[in-house]
Amino acid sequence: MTAPASSPWLSTKPIPPRDRLIFALDTSSATEAKRLIELLGDEVQFYKLGLELFMSGEYFELIDHLSERGKKCFVDLKFFDVPQTVGSAVRQLRGRNAAFATVHGNDAILEAACREKGDTRILAVTVLTSLDDGDLRDLGFEVDVRKLVISRARRALEIGCDGVISSGLEAEALREALGERLLIVCPGIRPVKNIDDQKRTVDVEEAFGNGADYIVVGRPIREAADPAAAAADIQDRIVRLFGPG
């Protein structure tokens, strides 16, 4: 599905076009992560570091590695604990190259994160893109995905979060309900037909046409025959939407 550049929801925020692609650096070792960073070179400027790398024991070393190379870092640890613990964890990111950090939880948890965020932008998790309506019913949520996403995003914005993590399928509804006030970061991007565990997916043009400010892409780049070429193709598609910047 292709979204024309005239889409009413296309982001107007002053974000360099090449920063709008965030690569999910989901590997089990710092060595492999560094190999991918080197391989992708100038094709990727923004990296997401998640739980798998955190458990490798070299998480902050990798943040420093990215910073030394002029790259941006997204700390995707989905902090979820009692508010005091979450606030203390977020405080540990001060002085690091952490552009974004994800937080999951209720109002008190989000408030604690926002109090300690410093220069890091806090992104509230709405509903994981690996979940659909059936999964939510199994978890005890008798509400459709879209309504839950909008409700959580509205509360997060009122609390002081800078944005949300949301499927591109709900991005348009978020823009309709909340306008341009928040950042929308969309994972679950599949440039071609989806065959993995992500359920609520969109392609590059659809995500941005629906209002995404950033997209997160992992496996379609990492598992490509030529990862740098796959990233370059996505960057070309972004430039066609936003211009060269």
- 86-93's contacts with Cβ under 8 Å and 24+ in sequence apart are 86/112, 86/113, 87/112, 87/113, 87/115, 87/116, 88/116, 90/116, 90/117, 90/120, 90/122, 91/116, 91/118, 93/117, 93/118, 93/120
Residue-level pLDDT at 146: 76
178 in a domain, yes or no?
yes
Tens place of pLDDT per residue across the chain (245 aa): 444 446 899 999 999 999 999 999 999 899 999 999 999 999 999 999 999 999 999 999 999 999 999 999 999 999 999 999 999 999 999 999 899 999 998 999 999 999 999 999 999 998 655 555 565 566 566 567 778 788 889 999 999 999 999 888 889 999 999 999 899 999 877 554 444 444 445 899 999 999 999 999 999 999 999 999 999 999 999 999 999 87
Catalytic residues: 78
Give Cα 76 to chain centroid, integer Å: 8
Domain count, the chain: 1
Strands 46-49 and 72-79: parallel
- Give CA angle at 130 (128, 132), nearest 5°: 90
Residue with tokens 């060595």: 31
> How far apart, in whole angstroms, are the C-alpha atoms of residue 198 and residue 55?
22
10 in a domain, yes or no?
no
> How far apart, in whole angstroms, are the C-alpha atoms of residue 106 and residue 152?
9
1 in a domain, yes or no?
no
Residue-level pLDDT at 198: 46
- Structural domain of residue 111, as residue ranges? 17-233
Residue-level pLDDT at 245: 77
239 in a domain, yes or no?
no
97 in a domain, yes or no?
yes
Residue-level pLDDT at 31: 95
25 in a domain, yes or no?
yes
CATH number where 141 lies: 3.20.20.70
Residue-level pLDDT at 132: 58
87 in a domain, yes or no?
yes
> What's the pTM value of the predicted model, to 2 decimals?
0.89
Residue-level pLDDT at 148: 79
2 in a domain, yes or no?
no
